[in-house]
Amino acid sequence: MIERFALVTALTGIIILMLLSNILVPEIIEISSINKGMLDKKISIIGNITSVRNLENMEILTVKSLNDDSIITVVLFDKLEIEKGVASITGKVREYKGKIEIEAEEITKE
């Protein structure tokens, strides 16, 4: 009896969490505070896209903080033809060749 109740609760909880993970928006953080301790975490930043490099299967953006001089590389595995300017970016923190970058999942121009 208790096993069934626990199993139903667990499965229901996982489904609810899957739905919640699509609804919840990550807190916006400063580019300067992003570090290797956040690898694989989903974050949001607001910054100024200062350069866009179009490669075969991706776009590489350089994003500068609005509050200080910190910059970060944002990689987008989609061809969305992003333009320069202020945008909010949601994605996961990754490490590539020793440097921190963000693998973007969503970019919204402000």
Partner 1 sequence: MVLSQIFFAIIMGIFAGSFTGLMPGIHINFVATLLLLSSNFLLQYFSPLSLAVFIISMAIAHSFIDFIPSILLSAPNSDTALSIMPGHRFLLKGRGYAAVRLSMIGCYIGVIILIITTPVFMIVMPFLYDYIKRFMALILIFSVLLLLIQEKKKFGAFFLFMLSGILGMVTLNMPIREPLFPLLTGLFGTSMIVTSIKEKTKIPIQKLSITSISKREYVKVSLAGLFASSLCSFLPGLGSAQAAVIASDVNGRASQKSFLVLLGIISTLVTGLNFVAIYAINKPRSGVAVVASKILETTQLNHLIILLIASVLSASLALILGLYLARIFIRIISKIDYTAISLAILIALCVMTFFISGIAGIVILITSTAIGILAISLGIRKMHLMGCLMLPVIIYFLPFR
**CB 49, min distance to partner 1, A:** 22
CA 79 to chain centre: 17
Is 37 exposed, middle or buried (CB count within 10 Å of its CB: 0-12, 13-18, 19+)?
exposed
Is 65 in contact with 71 (CB distance < 8 Å)?
Answer: yes
* Closer CB to partner 1, 51 or 106, in the complex: 106
Backbone angles phi, psi at 35, to 5 degrees: -145, 175
**CB 73, min distance to partner 1, A:** 18
**CB 70, min distance to partner 1, A:** 13
The site for partner 1 (CB under 8 A) is made up of: 2-3, 5-7, 9-10, 12-14, 16-18, 20-21, 24-27, 35-37, 39-44, 95, 98
